[in-house]
């Protein structure tokens, strides 16, 4: 069996409900997963929840619930949100699932048996929100550099992982493999940080109960990141016969704040277990509120993706995020810009084109596709190669731009040809060109706005959307189509 294209997202902490930042990552990765399916590949797309550790334990306590009950309740919110946004997950890993817990223990034991884990004592500053230790040097005004909060002084017995053993090997690997970390600036960031000697990593906690017990010492629980990173193996059927059909992962999609864990700690863990490294990491930026204000629970300015879906529909929320913010960079959310993308591009360009074309076909040809060919000049406006190149390199904002450019060209074509003034073969040619172009657009746009494209597909009587059919003159003459309902209603 051919290996599946395996794409993963980070697994979220279920301490609060999912916000627009979490949604940005899932939608970007979903767009890529759908793109590969569109190209006819088998895909494994994984998401999940990072349910153990001190942070979850603390929030559960504050909510007055046992940790397991708390994460079960939170998991429902995440699954509801991803379903509402049409995230096409194949595997949703919750780290409190027994299968995953057993896998993490297996992994830990492998490293332990190789004598790469030893017992010692740790004394240092721990940020519960980051779930990591910081050195004095890394702190900013004695606070966590990410959350700006004071860190806990921890002094306890812990097991250490000799991560430093793999520093040289990893450095060489990252220097040689340009594709391993994308965008390139992130690869450089890691290479420069790897110039400093790696310290052994504390991989257990004696004072945290809500976690996976160590296989060699049940008085410690596993460091939550060791457990969380292993989720990528669980999703790939680790320990089962078909593991090789999924692993190595083709791309881990992660936010810039967790790059170190994925680019350094994870590869060292895999080296230690003789498991091949993932093929690549793609590091996305952050969604901030307009004016670059960070979205955070403490500022009370979290944007709930479900509320936006209710108002604009899931396709508009997806399209907005993918079109507005270059995936590898930070970008801004404002309702104004979401409304503009919805009204000006989805409703005025694509929606309007579909509505006009189907109406004219109904009026002039009883909704029957005439026998003709797509206008050559119009067909040239569709830059399939450019579109594919942009999709393959996570430049979703530009790929969507290419598709929208073509929709604009189609609307211009209607205005210039004025089919209402034409008759016979000339009018047939315009109608055929439009319907065929709509078919091509519905293929290209399907990773962005899957719900809408599926309506168009079904209206056109096409069985399945396939990338190899995103070229012209494939629409069958004689097919009777059914005009779809208005695709995007304008929001004032």
Check binding of 92 to ligand MSP (CB under 6 A): no
Closer residue to ligand MSP (CB): 49 or 462: 49
> Which of 287, 317, 338, 462 is close enough to bind ligand MSP by CB under 6 A?
287
Check binding of 10 to ligand MSP (CB under 6 A): yes
DSSP string, 18-54: --HHHHHHHHHHHHHHHHHHHTT--EEEEEEE---HH
Closer residue to ligand MSP (CB): 12 or 30: 12
Check binding of 22 to ligand MSP (CB under 6 A): yes
Using the structure block, give the residue that is written with the tokens 């994460």: 71
Active site annotation includes 151: no
Active site annotation includes 144: yes
Q: CA geometry: angle at 303 spanning 128 and 57, to 5°?
A: 25
Check binding of 338 to ligand MSP (CB under 6 A): no
Distance between CA atoms of residues 488 and 453, nearest Å: 12
> Which of 28, 124, 255, 450 is close enough to bind ligand MSP by CB under 6 A?
255
Catalytic choice (26, 55, 100, 127) = 127
Structural element, H or E, at residue 98: helix 98-113
Check binding of 295 to ligand MSP (CB under 6 A): yes
Closer residue to ligand MSP (CB): 261 or 488: 261
Distance between CA atoms of residues 162 and 174, nearest Å: 19
Check binding of 329 to ligand MSP (CB under 6 A): no
> Which of 6, 21, 211, 345 is close enough to bind ligand MSP by CB under 6 A?
21
Check binding of 78 to ligand MSP (CB under 6 A): no
Structural element, H or E, at residue 94: strand 91-94
Active site annotation includes 453: no
Catalytic choice (297, 377, 380, 425) = 297
> Is the CB of residue 237 less than 8 Å from the CB of residue 102?
no
Minimum Å gap between C-beta 374 and ligand MSP is: 40
Q: Which residues contact 134 (CB under 8 A, 6 or more apart)?
A: 124, 125, 126, 127, 144, 145, 151
Q: Which residues contact 266 (CB under 8 A, 6 or more apart)?
A: 229, 232, 252, 278
> Which of 190, 229, 453, 470 is close enough to bind ligand MSP by CB under 6 A?
229
> Is the CB of residue 104 less than 8 Å from the CB of residue 227?
yes
Active site annotation includes 297: yes
Distance between CA atoms of residues 457 and 453, nearest Å: 6
Q: Which residue number has the CB closest to ligand MSP?
A: 255
CB atoms within 10 A of CB 69: 12
> Which of 4, 7, 11, 465 is close enough to bind ligand MSP by CB under 6 A?
11
User: Interface with ligand MSP by CB under 6 A: which range of 17-25, 143-151, 350-358, 370-378?
Assistant: 17-25
Query: What residues line the site for ligand MSP (CB under 6 A)?
Result: 10-13, 21-22, 24-25, 50, 228-229, 231, 254-255, 257-258, 286-287, 295
Residues belonging to the active site = 19, 22, 127, 130, 144, 147, 294, 297
């Amino acid at each position: 069996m051919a290996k599946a294209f395996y794409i993963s997202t980070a697994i979220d902490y279920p301490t609060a409900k999912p916000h627009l930042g979490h949604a940005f990552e899932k939608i970007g990765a979903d767009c890529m997963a759908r793109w590969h399916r569109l190209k006819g590949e088998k895909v494994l797309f994984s998401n999940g929840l990072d349910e153990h550790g001190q942070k979850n334990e603390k929030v559960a306590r504050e909510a007055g619930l046992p940790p397991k009950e708390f994460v079960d309740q939170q998991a429902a919110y995440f699954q509801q949100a991803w379903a509402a946004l049409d995230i096409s997950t194949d595997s949703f890993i919750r780290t409190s699932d027994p299968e995953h817990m057993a896998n993490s223990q297996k992994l830990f034991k492998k490293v332990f048996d190789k004598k790469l884990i030893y017992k010692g004592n740790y004394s240092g500053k721990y940020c519960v929100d980051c779930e990591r230790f910081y050195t004095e040097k890394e702190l900013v005004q004695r606070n966590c550099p990410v959350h700006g909060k004071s860190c806990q002084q921890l002094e306890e017995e812990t097991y250490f992982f000799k991560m430093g053993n793999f520093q040289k090997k990893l450095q060489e690997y990252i220097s040689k493999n340009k594709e391993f970390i994308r965008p390139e600036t992130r690869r450089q960031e890691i290479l420069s940080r790897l110039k400093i000697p790696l310290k052994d990593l504390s991989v257990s906690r004696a004072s945290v109960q809500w976690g996976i017990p160590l296989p060699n010492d049940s008085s410690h629980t596993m460091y939550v990141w060791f457990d969380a990173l292993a989720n990528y193996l669980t999703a790939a059927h680790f320990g089962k016969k078909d593991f090789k059909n999924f692993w190595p992962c083709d791309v881990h999609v992660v936010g810039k704040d967790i790059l170190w864990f994925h680019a350094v700690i994870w590869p060292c863990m895999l080296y230690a277990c003789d498991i091949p490294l993932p093929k690549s990491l793609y590091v996305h930026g952050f969604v901030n509120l307009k004016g670059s204000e960070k979205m955070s629970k403490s500022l009370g300015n979290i944007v709930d993706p479900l509320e936006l879906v209710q108002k604009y529909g899931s396709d508009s929320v997806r399209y907005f995020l993918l079109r507005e913010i270059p995936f590898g960079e930070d970008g801004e959310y404002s309702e104004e810009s979401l409304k503009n993308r919805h009204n000006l591009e989805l409703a005025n360009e694509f929606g309007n084109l579909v509505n006009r074309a189907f109406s004219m076909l109904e009026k002039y040809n009883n909704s029957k596709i005439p026998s003709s060919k797509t206008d050559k000049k119009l067909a040239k406006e569709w830059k399939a190669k450019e579109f594919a190149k942009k999709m393959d390199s996570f430049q979703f904002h530009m790929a969507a731009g290419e598709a929208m450019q073509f929709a604009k060209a189609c609307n211009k074509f209607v205005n210039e040809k004025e089919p209402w003034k034409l008759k016979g073969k000339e009018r047939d040619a315009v109608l055929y060109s439009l319907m065929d172009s709509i078919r091509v657009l519905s293929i290209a746009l399907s990773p962005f706005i899957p719900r809408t494209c599926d309506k168009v597909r079904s209206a056109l009587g096409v069985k399945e959307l396939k990338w190899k059919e995103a070229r012209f003159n494939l629409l069958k003459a004689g097919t009777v189509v059914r005009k779809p309902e208005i695709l995007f209603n304008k929001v004032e």
